[in-house]
Amino acid sequence: MQNNNAPKENLLGNPDSGVVVTGGGSGIGKATCIALASVGRPVSVWDINGASAKEVAEICNSDYGVKSHYLEIDVSDSLAIEQGVDPSVEALGNVGGLVHAAGVPGPGPIDMVDDKLWDSVLDVNLRAGAILTRVFLPALKSSGPGSSIVMVSSIEGHVGSGFLTAYCASKAGLLGLTRALSQRLGMDQIRINSVCPGVVETPMMAPLLAIDEIRDKLSKQAPLGRVATPEDIAKSIRFLLSDEASFITGTSLIVDGGFIAIGAI
């Protein structure tokens, strides 16, 4: 039977629209900017490290010919997030995608977590995701049906680690935020999902992965026998932003080479 409520093919998604990527200057965020630019999507690279954000924006423009823009910003500053909306929309033409990849690990068992550490981790990893969604909502809405948001959570959002108290709480919080926001955003045909990477070869993990025994152990623990590249995660994010994911919202995609499927953490 034909479903008359299904959107027409040409109304699905917004494949040429711009995407704002926080944490776009390094690791998963950087790979995401490049993966998006490689399929013709304009990108606005947001990062607290302005030099690396600029460099990534330049790569996207010079290597892939897309419009690009960068912003040096601390996403724990809500006012700065709000002030970043108009310049990004103006530079890209419109914004139909948002990726919150900026994150900090803030390691420490509960005995070592003071208010300052707690706030610094939660503000960047979790609160910024909510504020970004709120301030970009009008732009995502006016960009057309098919606008989409991806929050970069972690397998640590699904399983606990005693040494990553605030981090685990922030990443689990992103999963709850994603579920809650899917209802409000669905009213405007905007999708939102989380991606949960396992161990990824990025500057954040570099100190750990530089230790051969740890790298070997983490690689062997995953059924696919290796740690992820940032590009592995970027492709999943690009998928969730695309028409291919047109009926996926409010959920999380674990991209960990099978790490937690076999209880390896």
Ligand X SMILES: NC(=O)c1ccc[n+]([C@@H]2O[C@H](COP(=O)([O-])OP(=O)(O)OC[C@H]3O[C@@H](n4cnc5c(N)ncnc54)[C@H](O)[C@@H]3O)[C@@H](O)[C@H]2O)c1
DSSP assignment of 81-97 equals HHHHHHHHHHHHS-EEE
The answer to whether 33 touches 56, Cβ cutoff 8 Å, is: yes
Q: Are 205 and 199 in contact (CB under 8 A)?
A: yes
3-state class (DSSP) for residue 150: strand
**Residue ranges binding ligand X (CB under 6 A):** 22-23, 25-29, 47-49, 52, 73-76, 101-104, 124, 152, 154, 197, 199-200, 202-205
Tokens of 196: 């949960």
Strands (E), the chain: 18-22, 43-47, 68-72, 95-100, 148-152, 191-197, 252-255
In degrees, to the nearest 5, what angle opens at C-alpha 120 toward C-alphas 119 and 123? 75
Residue 99 forms beta bridges with which residues? 21, 150
**How far apart are CB 236 and ligand X at their closest, in Å?**
12
Catalytic residues, which ones?
Answer: 167
108 DSSP assignment? B
Closest approach, Cβ 95 to ligand X, in A, equals: 17
CB nearer ligand X, residue 45 or residue 190: 45
Q: Which residue has the tokens 């990004």?
A: 88
Residue 194 contacts residue 178 (beta carbons within 8 Å)? yes
The per-type count for the chain, helices as H runs and strands as E runs, is: 9, 7
Per the listing, tokens 């997030």 go with 81
CA distance 260 to 168: 15
